[in-house]
Homo-oligomer: A and B are copies of this chain.
Amino acid sequence: MTAKGFSALPLHERIRQDIETRIISGTLRPGDRIPSELELMARYGCARMTVNKALSALATRGLLERRKRAGTFVARPRTVAMVLDVPDLGSAVTARGQVYAFRLLDRQISDTARDRQAAADLGDVGRVMRLTGLHLADGVAFALEERLINLALVPAIEPVDFSTEPPGTWLLRHIPWTEAENRIGALAASRAQAKVLGISPGDACLAIERRTWRGADSVTVVRQTFVAGSHELVARFGPAGGSPARISAAAAAMTSAIGTSSA
């Protein structure tokens, strides 16, 4: 693009966009070799470090592949790693203009020596806290949360009252973690789940299981069950700097060609 007539952009950025444009437009095809840094440095009339900065950025983004001695090549797209935004539930609800609340349903202190399930989830860590609660938007339950917390690692949470702040937010603000894993799937609501969520048994739900570690120790394991349609996860891959405006314009749901979902 570079709609700016002046050289508003730094040089390495213009070089990057120039090459990126050639890849996107198909002038450069996957597997093609692009000129060496020395050649590009002559072509753009700049130092090699400047060319290097542009090419390195494109390589980091996966558009180029660089091999020593061989040269720089347009990458062949393979499996893709996208960035998944995992928002705080309270913030997400508030951002939609609704009132968020968390209601604690149950709270128990257990021990991995007696509680085999907790031991399977957190490892043999000793005392654990088991929480069950509901996430509400405008007073309506949309997600059920079941959580295990390693009390040896987070003793300060034992006396906390979660009426003002849900446990996830409390942990996020108080306990740093070094690793986390989300598993995302779908399930049919059990009878008990359906009852507290106000839906029917067997109804579709989105299930997210999140585990966090601090170094080698498990901090918490949480399973959140969302009523279908109440929550959506968005993962992106694209130019640095966030989502283009186009995406929101194209957000109309794709209606099923098979199921003319009449309801």
Contact = CB atoms under 8 A, between A and B. Distances in A.
A91 interface: yes
A59 B117 CA distance: 37
Interface residues of A, number: 100
Contacts of A191: 259
Interface in A186-220: 186-193, 196, 202-207, 209, 211, 213-216, 218
Interface in A49-80: 60, 63, 74-80
A216 B3 CA distance: 15
A193 B256 contact: yes
A239 B60 CA distance: 11
A23 interface: yes
Interface string A231-263: 111111111100110110010111111111100
A172 to B, nearest CB: 6
A112 interface: no
Count of this chain's copies in the oligomeric assembly: 2
Contact of A240 (B60, B75, B232, B247): B60
Nearest to A241: B60
A180 B215 contact: no
Interface of A: 20-21, 23-26, 30, 60, 63, 74-88, 91, 106, 117, 120-121, 123, 130, 132, 144, 146, 148, 172-173, 175-193, 196, 202-207, 209, 211, 213-216, 218, 221, 223, 226, 228-229, 231-240, 243-244, 246-247, 250, 252-261
7 contacts: A21-B178, A63-B178, A123-B250, A130-B257, A182-B234, A186-B186, A213-B246
